[in-house]
Structure 1
Amino acid sequence: MNIKKGVKKEYWDYSFKELLNAPVSALIGISEYDAKLLKEALGIETINDYAQLQSVKWARSIMTLAQLEE
């Protein structure tokens, strides 16, 4: 897996376990401003917080099941 496609350069050497505790702004596509808004609106500060968000889990499940639907 090429982590360079998912996280910003300063996080390339982090392990996956370390990335869980990295700020959500470490993800490509989420700016510092976006991270501030996520914290204010949903209490999200880390990548783990974001991944554990129930709506994200539902969205991933729906996407996966839609691919299997006939």
Structure 2
Amino acid sequence: MSVSVNLAKMLDKAYEDKSLEEILDAPVDALAGLTEKHTAQLKEALGIKSIRDLGSNKYFAAAGVLVALEKHSG
């Protein structure tokens, strides 16, 4: 099954044409709206160095689940 996703608005211009692997290995500031300062802060505080680290971080995952639960609660 093939899936197509347009990530252009989520990424800095320099990463729009990169492969998924390259994007996941990129620093957090490859995400649109984040800066090198954010990358440095996340690395120092939580050891997050890449988009892959950010997406698999247990704290961010827990927050995402809680938000999703809120949307589906009564």
> Is TM > 0.5 for Structure 1 vs Structure 2?
yes
Distance in structure 1 (CA, Å) of the matches to 2:21 and 2:59: 22
Q: Structure 1 unaligned runs (5+)?
A: none
Match for residue 62 of structure 2?
58
Aligned 1:33-44 pairs, distance under 5 A? 33-44=37-48
Distance in structure 1 (CA, Å) of the matches to 2:50 and 2:29: 8
Q: Does 1:10 align with 2:11?
A: no
Match for residue 26 of structure 1?
30
Question: How well do the aligned residues superpose, as a CA RMSD in angstroms?
Answer: 0.9
Residue identity matched to 1:44: I
Distance in structure 1 (CA, Å) of the matches to 2:70 and 2:44: 32
Distance in structure 1 (CA, Å) of the matches to 2:47 and 2:33: 18
SS class of match (1:30): coil
Q: If the length of structure 2 is used for normalisation, what is the TM-score?
A: 0.87
Q: CA deviation at 1:18?
A: 1.8
Q: Structure 2 unaligned runs (5+)?
A: none
Following TM superposition, the consecutive aligned residue runs of length 4 or more in structure 1 with deviations greater than 3 angstroms are none
Q: CA deviation at 1:10?
A: 0.2
